[in-house]
Amino acid sequence: MFVAPVIYTIFLRQMAWDFTLGFAKIFWSIPKSTSLPPSILPFHISVLFRVTAAGFMLSMIWEVSNLCFSVFVAQVPLKATNPLTADSKDPNGTLLAGLKAKKQLPRCFAFWELLYISHNVPLRRKSFFEDIDRKGGALWSQILGACLEVVYSLNTRINDDLNPPPPEASAPPQKPQLVSVNTLPRITTPLKQDAIFAASPPSSRTEKFGHVIGSFAKSQGDAPPRNRRASSSPQLRKLIGYGVDATLSSAQKQALTQGNLGNIFNSYLLRFLRSPAGFPFRQTLRRRATAVALGSPDGDKETIIAAVHSITQLSICSLVEDDYGKVQKDIADIIRLFTTTIENLTRFRNLAKPGWTDVHTKGDAAIRDSFEEIDQLRAVFREALGSLLVGFGSYADVLGLSLRDVRLAKAAASAPAKPSGAEGK
């Protein structure tokens, strides 16, 4: 704020004055005496006051705009107490299109509306189970596929992070197959295979001496470094060693060894990573866990939570509202998927460790705080899985759940969240 008048004076004032003066001369006759900027410095107390007021007002505009937008976006997607798609000619089709949208914003609002309908609009919720003649399959099956796609993506990111695919080995180049061709019989002598552009052998003594010196120089240049070092004269090596002993102390020679140079480089690199300039180059554990849990480059935790809660609520309400029995055949797959997801989240939390660039995540408390998003998603899946087991536990045999599936689901839903250090053990 106080530097702006100085920068304006040095770099921008003359240009702004010339532009304004040239524009004003079109409409008014301005004498030459007033064509130069006033001599008073622009960082007068009045200018400082104006710059401060302008900066304050600009900051207030940014903050108020951001606050208003945040409050507006945080509102439930309703229009006159009805879902946004209620006015559409095909409300369920519009909602389904939003669930399958590629852009993040309409997709997020569609999942939010689905969550609201599944909890608060019984008539619209029941229509999900009754719409069985839609193009692409029953509406429930398409909604289930859109929601489970979010969960499958989460499991894929965890598996890719913990088990990266091995690099593909390049296939050896295949030798071209020679094809025999029947040619005409040769009627001349074969061509010479010698170098026809090679120089003639030296004849005089001077040429022979130059040829010997040139051959020695070429052999020294073509030889590998180890051979050149071995073929160098002992006197030259003694002379170089004497110069090093006379110039460097023993401590300096020890510091110039390969191991010490590596340690010095590593110390400077770690110092750079700890500085504010090294922030873009630090791959922190929290950043890695957030990318795995929410996706990248744009993560959306609310979409995952809305998808899980929507499927859970619709599944439980189907016990009363699903007249065609379309939902019960998918309950076993949902329970198994939620169980696997909880196990994968727990496995990632146990196995993921800070990388070498993560210079600030030290100690159990910092590591535990790095898995905040992982713990939140794990709590969501445990709550949803527990609700499904309460609603459908007595129908496990009919739904196709084995005793092992039920036992694993109960263990995943009831396992308490442990501290990071305890889980690592």
**pLDDT tens digits for range 55-97:** 889 999 999 999 998 888 888 888 888 888 888 899 999 999 9
Q: What is the pLDDT of residues 256-307, one digit of tens each?
A: 565 566 677 777 777 877 788 877 777 788 888 888 888 876 677 889 999 9
* Alpha-carbon gap, residue 138 to 17, rounded angstroms: 70
Average pLDDT, the chain: 78
The count of other CB atoms within 10 Å of the CB of residue 118 is: 23
Tokens (6 digits) for 220? 């020294």
In this prediction, residue 419 carries a pLDDT of: 44
* Between 24 and 369, residue with greater pLDDT: 24
Q: From residue 47, how far is each of 6, 42, 51, 58, 60 by CA, in Å?
A: 11, 6, 6, 16, 20
Tokens (6 digits) for 101? 């949208």
In this prediction, residue 317 carries a pLDDT of: 93
In this prediction, residue 420 carries a pLDDT of: 42
* Alpha-carbon gap, residue 311 to 84, rounded angstroms: 20
In this prediction, residue 23 carries a pLDDT of: 83
- pLDDT level of residue 380 (50, 70, 90 thresholds): very high
9-13, 117-121, 186-190, 285-289: the lowest-pLDDT one: 186-190
- pLDDT level of residue 223 (50, 70, 90 thresholds): low
Region 353-362: what's the mean pLDDT? 76
Question: Residue 142 pLDDT > 70, yes or no?
Answer: yes
Of 410, 401, 230, nearest to 332 by C-alpha is 401
**3-state DSSP assignment of residue 35:** coil
- pLDDT level of residue 422 (50, 70, 90 thresholds): very low
The single-letter code of the amino acid at 199 is A
In this prediction, residue 152 carries a pLDDT of: 94
Tokens (6 digits) for 248? 């460097």
Region 394-400: what's the mean pLDDT? 88
Region 348-372: what's the mean pLDDT? 77
Rg of the Cα atoms in the chain: 38
In this prediction, residue 39 carries a pLDDT of: 58
Strands 82-83 and 78-79 come out as antiparallel
In this prediction, residue 119 carries a pLDDT of: 93
Q: From residue 172, how far is each of 165, 167, 343 by CA, in Å?
A: 21, 15, 41
* Alpha-carbon gap, residue 399 to 333, rounded angstroms: 9
Q: How far is CA 409 from the centre of its chain?
A: 32
In this prediction, residue 371 carries a pLDDT of: 84
DSSP 166-209: PPPPPPPPPPPPP----PPPP-SPPPP-S-TTPPPPP-SHHHHH
**3-state DSSP assignment of residue 82:** strand
Of 315, 11, 341, nearest to 149 by C-alpha is 341
* Between 297 and 196, residue with greater pLDDT: 297
**The Cα angle at residue 50 between residues 44 and 54, in degrees rounded to 5:** 145
